Structures are given as C-alpha cells and as structure tokens.
Amino acid sequence: MNQHPAGQLLLVGVPGTELDRDTAALYRQVQPGGFIIFGRNITAAAQLRKLIDDLRDVSAIEPIITIDQEGGRVSRLRLIGNEPPSAQQLRDKGDETLVSHHGQITGRLLRLFGFNLDLCPVLDIAFDDEADNSLRGRCYGNNVEQVVRLAGAFNRALRGERIATCGKHFPGYSSAELDAHHELPKVRRSREQLDSEELAVFRQFLTAVDSMMICHGWYPCFDREKLPASLSSTVVNELLRRELKFGGLVMTDDLDMGAIYNEYGLEQTIRMALGAGNDLAMICHRVDAITQARDTIAALPAADVDAALQNVARFKARMAPPDAFSESAFRQLDDEVWKLRVEVLGAERASEQSPEDGKRSPVETY
C-alpha cells in the first residue's frame, strides 16, 4: 500500500453507492485524508453505513467522513428519510430551542452512519433571501446578531453530539451575484463592509467551529487581479490565519465547481490551493484525477504541506468514533426529524418537501 502522506490533504468524492474493486484499490493507493458523501451515494440506511464502513476499511489512517446535512434542500439524508427544516424556516419560526434540537438530532443521525464532520453551519448573512447564488433558504439570519445567535445554537448542539463542524462560506459569500457552481462571481464588497457584517459573524466562530470552508468568490478588496478566495493567499494565509488567528482546519470548497474548473488546470489548482494556506483540497467529482492531485501535492515544497499535514492530523486526533448502527435507531431518529418539521412548519406544510433548485448546476449544492 502506498501511504505517501500527500493524500491526507485531499477530501474526495465517491462515485457510487458501493465501493467497487477499482475504486477501493485507488483509495488504498492514494490514501485520501477524507471522503465526502452526496445524494448520489445514498439509497438506503444500511447501504450508507456499509459504504462508510468500507471507506474506513481502505484507509490506513482514520479518514474524515463528511456530508452537507444542513436542513431543507441541502440535506443529503432526505433521500432515505424526512427532510429537516431549513435554516431560513427555523429563522422564520424564531425559536432558538428548535434550532438546538435540530443540531442534536442531526448529530445523532450522522454518528449513526459513521460521519465525523458536518459541512455546516452556513455563516453567510442573507442580504437577499431570493438571490440566485446557491444560498437560498440556507442562511440563519438577515443580520449579524441573528446569524451568530441561531447558527451558534445549531453549531453548539452539533458539537455536543461529537460531530465536528465547518463554518462556511468564508469570507462571506451572500453578496455574490452568480452561482460559483457555474462561474466565478465577483463580490463587490469593500473591506469596511466585510468587517462590519460578514467578517463580524466569522469572528464570533473562530474558536467555536472545528474547520472553515473557503468560497469560490473573487474579492477585489483583497486581490486586484481576478482570483478566487479559495486560491488566494491574501484571504487564507493573511486574513483567516494571521489576522483572525484561526487555528482550525481550513478547506477549499469543491474544486470541481465551474468557478475553478473552467479557469484552471488540475495541477495549477492544487498548487494554488495548498500554496494559499488550505489544509484540504476538495475534489468531489473527478475521482479518477486524485492520483494526479496526490502526486502534485507530493512534489510541492515542504513549507506548503508540512503545516497542512499537522493540521489534518490534529483535527483527526479529536474525531469521535461512530455509533453502532441499527435500522430501528435510524427510524426513531427519522421520526424525531418529522416531529421537528411539523413543529416548525405545521402539519400541512410539513408534508411538502423542498423542491430542487432548478437553476443550480448538475453538481450538488454545498
């Protein structure tokens, strides 16, 4: 087994609902640091747990196993159970205890399946609830105080169930005028505006979340030349790490999104992502490219990878093992999701699942 440590700096997708022989061999050889599960990987409760157990089995080092389980339409587990209320639906209800309960149920569900990281909470401020930038329904507030209070309640509850959390989308994505799944948006916010709103939220979570996800948005106030925040040393190294002193794990958003895929080659993307200060480069769809990505990392200067390897190892040292799985335990938790949904939306609306966003990319929203 090739256990070159460079693979530990990759967070990769899985192509199907089971681990076939060729994919298992690829993962054994590359040894990714973690795996992200999408709807395409889920057909049944027992199937999902087996897939995750198989991913752990091919990993020489315990892997990060993550998912986007936010609530509403960005809830991968709704494919096999009830859809939890979205952040906006919880915000509209205005009851912080319901947000906390949502976090507790989510944490227990994820541990049952073997996850150790949830890619949330969304810390973006909803300046426009109807903006077509992939965030519709996903924001906990329209102002700093509301996001800090409600996202904080969800975050504390999730961590209380020993699921690690991820603040996203740094440094604040909700003013983006385009969806980064398609192309790179230009975020026309001044540093003063970011400081007073978006960054005011993130500052409150610097020691409260276990990781941060960097968005694919171009911020001219940080980089004059067109450059995604996810590949920007100014945003990651200088702002998040040095100025704000964030000490947790830092990851890119999916490098297979159009904002990146249409602009940069794979090797260039990986070099820029690690050079900017990210610990994990996320590749959700081009699974056949992860050997090339690993080899690119292995060829980087030690200064670009040593700190990242240490940060990944430090994060993994705190991960909690999964709970024992049973179908009955899942059904009981899924019933709790339904009751929460009814409490938030009312019995009539609860039966209506969120529609898919018809304008979004074929790749899944995160």
Q: What is the CATH number of the domain that holds 317?
A: 3.20.20.300
Residue 226 included in any domain? no
Domain count, the chain: 1
One-letter amino acid at 323 equals: D
The domain in which residue 53 lies consists of 5-166+260-350
Better-predicted residue by pLDDT, 1 or 90: 90
Whether the model pTM is above 0.75:
yes
Residue 61: what pLDDT?
A: 98
Residue 298 included in any domain? yes
DSSP letters spanning 213-239: EE---B-TTT-SS--BGGG-HIIIIII
Provide the phi-psi class of 245: left if phi over 0, else alpha when psi is between -120 and 50, else beta. left
Backbone angles phi, psi at 256, to 5 degrees: -90, 0
Residue 273 included in any domain? yes
Residue 257 has pLDDT above 70, yes or no: yes
Assign 259 a pLDDT band (cuts: 50, 70, 90).
Answer: confident
Residue 363 has pLDDT above 60, yes or no: no
The residues facing 251 across adjacent strands are 213, 280
Residue 357 has pLDDT above 90, yes or no: no
Which residues have CB under 8 Å from 97's CB, separation 6+? none
Residue 125 included in any domain? yes
Which tens digit of pLDDT belongs to each residue from 294-303? 999 999 989 8
Stretch 354-366: mean pLDDT: 48
Which tens digit of pLDDT belongs to each residue from 93-140? 999 999 999 999 999 999 999 999 999 999 999 998 887 778 999 999
